[in-house]
Structure 1
């Protein structure tokens, strides 16, 4: 097997964040990464697949393309699936599941197509089919071409392996990382989240500052493939970089349970020494000593928690507190309604496209440094 052969790698991301993920991929050295609907594509080797899972903060999944063929009817799909060289990627002793999508093709019944591919894998290759398998073969049948990919991540990549406790409506870690990126955060300034919930923004910011790889504490589906090389994977893991020990990351929440949860999550992530959490309402936050930085917050919004009308006062109070106490700091607010954001009284820059989060369209509203 040629381990240096290049193939297409596709990093999945929430629609609306493709350009931010592309910028991260390019920054990490994934050359010629291009934004595509719902993700970013680039060419690379299995080493790049492993590195993308380990290092890309913004991705939800990493898919590796393992082959494609023209197909116009189910009998042909059955035949070509039986002839496909599954052994090049899959292991016969590891359970597999198959997911099929059909679009603008003569084969339009995804369930029937799934059945054919599953049977081919089980009967010709010998791998067990299991609806709960971590290794997933994804077949996209579009315009009569079947493209086969394997999901190399397994569990979604926002599950970093540190957060045991989560709040009522958590921001996913990969989305938080890309919102921090859109706010031009690079790890060199303090960050404060006055409604921190389970601490996602604060923890992601501290990890970025320390140069910690997001996937360092978890397993991946690619470890169950024939292409896996444990020594090569371990060689990709890096040590945290030396950082300015005076740089701190702050979270607060009016809920004592959220503060306790955030501190425990930060300790598990290994960044307890640079994070500080306290219990207080959003209007009681104080500007930390030291240089200005970024306030980033994902407040409650109408479609998510509580009644929107009751939230205008909360946003207004937050805006006044930031205007009064956080001169020189930039602000990023993630919400689903322009009217809620505007009720802060802050002056926002033009917004980027909305992002789909749990069925709700959310937008990042950013300010220049508060004067």
Structure 2
């Protein structure tokens, strides 16, 4: 690759969310988005890498693929790795680390040995120091003897926006919340209410989308430590202009007082206190706010023990009754682990899409049209 031409950029996705991330990348104007296992590839240069990290709400990481070649044995891997002009991408004064994975179909099958060869090549060719704690990570994948070398340009996973310090039990990642909102048809022009808001992720994410706030605005990225980084261009891209506040408001409630404190603190760090409201209420006490209907989105408990099932069925039934009785005209999006729970609500859900992974479980979004 060259430092000024287009190359392949990989956007990682939560398994099951690849098509939703592909739609987001296309809507954001990235070139040649293609859905693949585990994510989406796009084409672009380093400014597109920076923009993807800054603006895409659903990507987990952004990897810049800097080389690809065949390698049948370790000596060949070493030789090819030394041909790469590492100084075009890495800085000799910034430490790095290497992570490697090898598929069973490859003749190089020992990931630790592969990582050591790449690490040594970089040390000897560039003079950079290897450190197991380094922010700059070179990712090596050998699949069917094809070796792909990429730089993780994100550093910390992208769901860590820099605003959520406090989290409730089994928190929804911001990246997932944004893609679920997108699948509900939310584009920032209607109110959103979460009657079991936990640490406020759905509500804060919806408020940020409506306010036009870039998800990566408050954090640092690994690409800031690369030789390709242009600080002036990055500052222009990031921008500091005030974003007009929408007239809409976004609402969260939870029976747990601690969850409401967390939500308010997280909303303040995100800069959306003025357009969010959080109240300590049982879901059975929730009323629709004044104004036009919008979207109710909720991620109720799933239960991981056999005895939870009947108790949870009653909770889902009660939630459905509350929404049907009070939220006429509102759409409902519900994230849960089983159709059994969704059916217990009595809500008129359409046929759901495929499941996605959340906290080791497969969960599905169930969505209604406007309630009668």
Q: TM-score range by the shorter chain?
A: over 0.9
Q: Report the alpha carbon displacement of residue 241 of structure 1 after superposing the two structures with TM.
A: 3.6
TM-align CA RMSD: 1.5
- Distance in 1 (CA, whole Å) between partners of 2:330 and 2:307 is 29
Aligned to 2:54: 54
SS at match of 1:41: strand
- Distance in 1 (CA, whole Å) between partners of 2:279 and 2:362 is 30
Partners of 2:194 and 2:253 within 8 A in 1: yes
SS at match of 1:301: coil
TM-score by length of 1: 0.97
Q: Report the alpha carbon displacement of residue 162 of structure 1 after superposing the two structures with TM.
A: 0.6
Q: Report the alpha carbon displacement of residue 358 of structure 1 after superposing the two structures with TM.
A: 1.9
Q: Report the alpha carbon displacement of residue 19 of structure 1 after superposing the two structures with TM.
A: 1.0
1:116 aligns with 2:117: yes
- Distance in 2 (CA, whole Å) between partners of 1:17 and 1:303 is 23
Distance 1:231 1:139, change over 3 A: same
**Structure 1: which 5+ runs fail to align?**
none
- Distance in 1 (CA, whole Å) between partners of 2:2 and 2:68 is 18
Aligned to 1:71: 71
Q: How does 1:95-110 map to 2 (within 5 A)?
A: 95-103=95-103, 104-110=105-111
Aligned to 2:246: 244
Partners of 2:336 and 2:365 within 8 A in 1: yes
Partners of 2:350 and 2:366 within 8 A in 1: yes
SS at match of 1:33: strand
Aligned to 1:214: 215
Q: Report the alpha carbon displacement of residue 60 of structure 1 after superposing the two structures with TM.
A: 0.3
Q: Report the alpha carbon displacement of residue 287 of structure 1 after superposing the two structures with TM.
A: 0.7
Partners of 1:323 and 1:370 within 8 A in 2: yes
SS at match of 2:140: strand
- Distance in 1 (CA, whole Å) between partners of 2:3 and 2:141 is 25
Aligned to 1:85: 85
Q: C-alpha deviations, 1:221-266, integer Å up to 9, x for none?
A: 0000000001111111243542432x10000000000001101100
Distance 1:304 1:37, change over 3 A: farther
TM-score by length of 2: 0.97
Aligned to 1:185: 186
Farther-moved stretch of structure 1 (99-108 vs 51-60): 99-108
- Distance in 2 (CA, whole Å) between partners of 1:29 and 1:273 is 30
Partners of 2:170 and 2:359 within 8 A in 1: no
Q: C-alpha deviations, 1:174-217, integer Å up to 9, x for none?
A: 00000000000000000000010100000000000000000000
**Structure 2: which 5+ runs fail to align?**
none
Aligned to 2:16: 16
Partners of 1:72 and 1:106 within 8 A in 2: yes
- Distance in 1 (CA, whole Å) between partners of 2:303 and 2:119 is 43
Q: Report the alpha carbon displacement of residue 84 of structure 1 after superposing the two structures with TM.
A: 2.1
Aligned to 1:351: 352
- Distance in 2 (CA, whole Å) between partners of 1:267 and 1:241 is 16
